[in-house]
Chains A and B, each alone.
Chain A
Amino acid sequence: MSMLLQVENLASAFFLDEGVLKAVDGISFQVNEKETVALVGESGCGKTIVALSLLNLIPSPGRVVGGRIVFNGEDLLQVGAERLRQVRGGGMGMIFQEPGAALNPVFTIGYQIVEVLRLHRGLGKHDAEVEAIRLLGETGIPEPEKRIKAYPFEFSGGMQQRAVIAIAISGRPQLLIADEPTTALDVTVQAEIVDLLCYLQEQYKMAILLITHDMGVVIEMAKRVMVMYTGKLVEVAQTHDLFRDPKHPYTQGLLNSIPRLGEGRKEPLYGIPGAVPDFLSLPSGCTFHPRCSIGDVSCTTEFPSLRDISSNRKCACYKVEGS
């Protein structure tokens, strides 16, 4: 299995009047070809900024401040604007959280797909239209030859997400970044979209970087999971290892907060106490220690490094022993 994307020490920050907000603080990971990797964490812990950093799309006043993003042997932070544009959409496709907002309201769905096909695959007008109809059909939109003339607001949420996926894969990317692809949808549609993504991954031999906080989607799709907290990775593991035996107290907390059917209806649903801290005044040391059940004074001086605790497994916690 060869490596498709290697991220080393990626750091992104927002330069605000109140100070420098380090939204992504030195994270490293890799994504292999045709592999699905999940990035999980609470809202507001920097997951989306990781995705935007990969495409160098962080909105001002933020930007990538350090690290390397090696995609297909090429450091994306070093290449010129022209090459970066080819990679966007052509090498990496992205699916957004709100499908309704990600589509341009004044153009038809077909127009928006054709645009990408012509840009990245250099298709002529007619070929691009035929291909757009095929893509819409492949993403499960009924009567694609009619729907191609529809406007985004005429689609339901699930169909909008299918259209967004069709646009994202139309440039034949090797890596699909899916930023909370199911969050805005209802449960039955979520399952369909997950199935669709799995099918397309098989079909087009894509790798998927799945960003979500829905553990159900993670189990369904991902082979490996990375857990993120306050801009840092705190645990990386194979999906089944992580769910069977979470090591980091934060991961344990996340998994414990999943509601289970028929179990313990009497007790209230577990939640990690407290909230994600303000990025501008992070707690000293391990940023999780104020919310941690096993943390003590020794955790308050320095953030623990992400170290190997067994083969294929990394954790950033002083209290977790390697085996």
Chain B
Amino acid sequence: MKRRNQSNHLLLLGASLLPGMGHILLGKHSRGRPLLAFTLAIILLLYWRWQVFLKVFNTTWFDYWLAAVFLIASLAASVIYSVWDVRRLLTATPKGPQGKSPFQLARRRFTANRMAVTALYVIAVFYILAILAPLLAPYDPAAITDVLSTRYLPPSTEHLFGTDEFGRDLLSRALYGARVSLSVGLLAVLVAISLGTVYGAVAGYFGGFIDSILMRIVDVIISFPTFFLMLMLVGIFEANIVFLVLILGLTSWPGTARFIRGELLSLKQREFTDAARAIGLPNRLIIFRHLIPNAMSPILISAALMIGGMIGAEAGLSFLGIGIRPPTPSWGNMVSAGQDALLVAWWVAFFPGALLALTVLCFNLLADGLRDALDPKSLMRRFV
């Protein structure tokens, strides 16, 4: 019996060398299927784009290098994870009382929300496509060949999204444009959230005079017209991704700062803050190790809500021509380029616009799901 068990284990571990198979054989479909799908997709991609993949070794182009490393790393990671997790499942012994952190409980509530999980998958797929753009793009996004015969070609099997006024392949451009749009949104939110959290936490925790000074500064920044600031700065500096991230991030942190301050004002009234001080913890540790983790749920929710807005804002700036400049594609400037030809070639503006709308929608659905999962009160409201 024991022997059979062991060979069974070996079989399962062997099966999980194809990530996901082990899980599916064990009956863990929810974990196995996405894993298997992901691995198969990577393998198919490698098979299909082997020639492009080999270019890594004779090009110094950073994009290729990043895409290739990501591809190999994620393949390796899924094999390792699969074997490790199947082994863990096989050797798992019934445990005694074990802590489920509030975040583990929230994850369980989150996964029960189909809509939010789907949105998360869509977003994940978009980010993966963006990273792998050099390997996926059927054409060079900037290549202009015979403009007259290739311009404004409607969607076909050759050009899935059609071509634009210079005959460039729109699918390739949309893939490359995703890198700009998605990374600007994510990074700008990271800048805004981290700055706003630290700033608001300091103001809320210390209160009094420090709070007044810090929040008046916030008032000044908020009352400054962001849009004109951007126009002015664009006139001075060249608009590139770093610049857009900084300008979007640095103009939107005051909102975060305000609400984190509010969170901290209420958290510091809780007794565990007194307890932390009574035990002699320095303020720095109380703020960063005790209070901010307690405010993590609203921070995450607002971050998810903000990303959608940021991606929209970047698209808006690029649409107006003060964001990412052509020929570098971004969804915003692709829509902008398409508006002139809307009547003769609807596809030029339609595909990037639809991708943009879908992304923003998914981020908002994700934020909704996060809110329901992290804030038990809002869930209760749904049932009442």
Chain A residues near B (Cβ < 8 Å): 52, 55, 57, 59-60, 85-90, 93-94, 96-98, 101-108, 115-116, 119-120, 143, 146-147, 149-151, 154, 164, 167-168, 171
Q: With A107-B293, A146-B96, A149-B98 in contact, do A102 and B275 touch (Cβ < 8 Å)?
A: yes
**Nearest Cβ in chain B — how far from A183, in angstroms?**
13
> Which applies to chain B's interface (DSSP): helix, strand, loop or mixed?
helix
Q: B279–A89 contact, CB under 8 A?
A: yes
Q: A150–B99 contact, CB under 8 A?
A: yes
Per-residue CB contact flags for chain B residues 334-370 toward chain A (1 = under 8 Å, else 0) read 0000000000000000000000000000000000000
Any chain A CB within 8 A of the CB of B296? yes
Q: B208–A60 contact, CB under 8 A?
A: yes
Q: With A89-B278, A89-B279, A106-B101 in contact, do A60 and B207 touch (Cβ < 8 Å)?
A: yes
Per-residue CB contact flags for chain B residues 260-296 toward chain A (1 = under 8 Å, else 0) read 0000000001111011111111100100011001101
Q: Which chain B residues in 63-105 approach chain A with CB under 8 Å?
A: 96-103
Q: Which residues of B contact A147 (CB under 8 A)?
A: 97
Q: Which residues of B contact A101 (CB under 8 A)?
A: 270-272
Q: B102–A105 contact, CB under 8 A?
A: yes
Q: Which residues of B contact A168 (CB under 8 A)?
A: 279
Q: With A96-B275, A106-B293, A106-B294 in contact, do A90 and B280 touch (Cβ < 8 Å)?
A: yes
Name the CB-closest residue of A to B289.
A115
Q: B277–A88 contact, CB under 8 A?
A: yes
Q: A150–B97 contact, CB under 8 A?
A: yes
Q: Which chain B residues in 22-53 approach chain A with CB under 8 Å?
A: none
Q: Which residues of A contact B280 (CB under 8 A)?
A: 85-90, 116, 119-120, 171
Q: A164–B277 contact, CB under 8 A?
A: no
Q: Which residues of A contact B96 (CB under 8 A)?
A: 143, 146
Name the CB-closest residue of B to A85.
B280
Q: B277–A103 contact, CB under 8 A?
A: no
Q: A115–B272 contact, CB under 8 A?
A: no
Name the CB-closest residue of A to B103.
A106
Q: A102–B99 contact, CB under 8 A?
A: no
11 A-B pairs with CB atoms under 8 Å apart are A55-B277, A57-B278, A85-B281, A89-B278, A94-B278, A96-B278, A104-B293, A106-B294, A149-B98, A151-B100, A164-B275
Q: Which residues of A contact B270 (CB under 8 A)?
A: 101
Q: Which residues of B contact A93 (CB under 8 A)?
A: 278-279
How long is the Cα–Cα vector from A238 to B101 in the complex, in angstroms?
A: 48
Q: Which residues of B contact A96 (CB under 8 A)?
A: 271, 274-275, 278
Interface residue total, chain B, C-beta cutoff 8 A:
29
Q: Which residues of B contact A59 (CB under 8 A)?
A: 269, 274
Q: Which residues of B contact A120 (CB under 8 A)?
A: 280
**Nearest Cβ in chain A — how far from B159, in angstroms?**
51
Q: Which residue of A119, A151, A171 contacts B101 across the interface (Cβ within 8 Å)?
A: A151
Q: Which residues of A contact B276 (CB under 8 A)?
A: 104
Per-residue CB contact flags for chain B residues 229-271 toward chain A (1 = under 8 Å, else 0) read 0000000000000000000000000000000000000000111
Chain B residues near A (Cβ < 8 Å): 96-103, 207-208, 269-272, 274-282, 285, 289-290, 293-294, 296
Name the CB-closest residue of B to A87.
B280
Q: B102–A106 contact, CB under 8 A?
A: yes
Q: With A107-B293, A108-B99, A146-B97 in contact, do A98 and B277 touch (Cβ < 8 Å)?
A: no
Q: Which residues of A contact B208 (CB under 8 A)?
A: 60
How long is the Cα–Cα vector from A143 to B103 in the complex, in angstroms?
A: 24
Q: Which residue of B103, B207, B278, B289 contacts A55 across the interface (Cβ within 8 Å)?
A: B278
**Nearest Cβ in chain B — how far from A148, in angstroms?**
9
Q: B99–A154 contact, CB under 8 A?
A: yes
**Nearest Cβ in chain B — how far from A42, in angstroms?**
21
Q: B275–A94 contact, CB under 8 A?
A: yes
Q: Which residue of A52, A88, A98 contacts B279 across the interface (Cβ within 8 Å)?
A: A88
Given contacts A120-B280, A151-B102, 8 further A-B contacts (CB under 8 A): A89-B278, A94-B278, A96-B274, A96-B275, A102-B274, A104-B276, A107-B290, A115-B289
How long is the Cα–Cα vector from A147 to B95 in the complex, in angstroms?
A: 12
How long is the Cα–Cα vector from A171 to B281 in the complex, in angstroms?
A: 12
Name the CB-closest residue of B to A52.
B274
Name the CB-closest residue of A to B291.
A104
**Nearest Cβ in chain B — how far from A163, in angstroms?**
11
Name the CB-closest residue of A to B206.
A60
Name the CB-closest residue of A to B296.
A106
Q: With A60-B208, A101-B272, A106-B293 in contact, do A171 and B99 touch (Cβ < 8 Å)?
A: no
Q: B296–A88 contact, CB under 8 A?
A: no
Name the CB-closest residue of A to B282.
A85
Q: Which residues of B contact A108 (CB under 8 A)?
A: 99, 101
Q: Which residues of B contact A104 (CB under 8 A)?
A: 272, 275-276, 290, 293-294
Name the CB-closest residue of B to A146.
B96
Q: A154–B101 contact, CB under 8 A?
A: no
**Nearest Cβ in chain B — how far from A70, in angstroms?**
19
How long is the Cα–Cα vector from A85 to B279 in the complex, in angstroms?
A: 8
How long is the Cα–Cα vector from A149 to B98 in the complex, in angstroms?
A: 7
Q: Which residues of B contact A146 (CB under 8 A)?
A: 96-98
Q: Which residues of A contact B285 (CB under 8 A)?
A: 115
Q: Which residues of A contact B281 (CB under 8 A)?
A: 85, 89, 115, 119
Name the CB-closest residue of A to B104.
A151
Q: Which residue of B97, B277, B279, B290 contacts A167 across the interface (Cβ within 8 Å)?
A: B279
**Nearest Cβ in chain A — how far from B275, in angstroms?**
4
Q: Which residues of B contact A87 (CB under 8 A)?
A: 280
How long is the Cα–Cα vector from A102 to B272 in the complex, in angstroms?
A: 4
Name the CB-closest residue of B to A143.
B96
- Which 3 A/B pairs are nearest by Cβ-Cβ distance? A89-B280, A88-B280, A101-B271
**Nearest Cβ in chain A — how far from B378, in angstroms?**
18
Q: Which residues of B contact A151 (CB under 8 A)?
A: 99-102
Q: Which residues of A contact B271 (CB under 8 A)?
A: 96-98, 101-102
Q: Which residues of A contact B102 (CB under 8 A)?
A: 105-106, 151
**Nearest Cβ in chain B — how far from A52, in angstroms?**
8
Q: A154–B97 contact, CB under 8 A?
A: yes
Q: B272–A103 contact, CB under 8 A?
A: yes
How long is the Cα–Cα vector from A167 to B275 in the complex, in angstroms?
A: 10
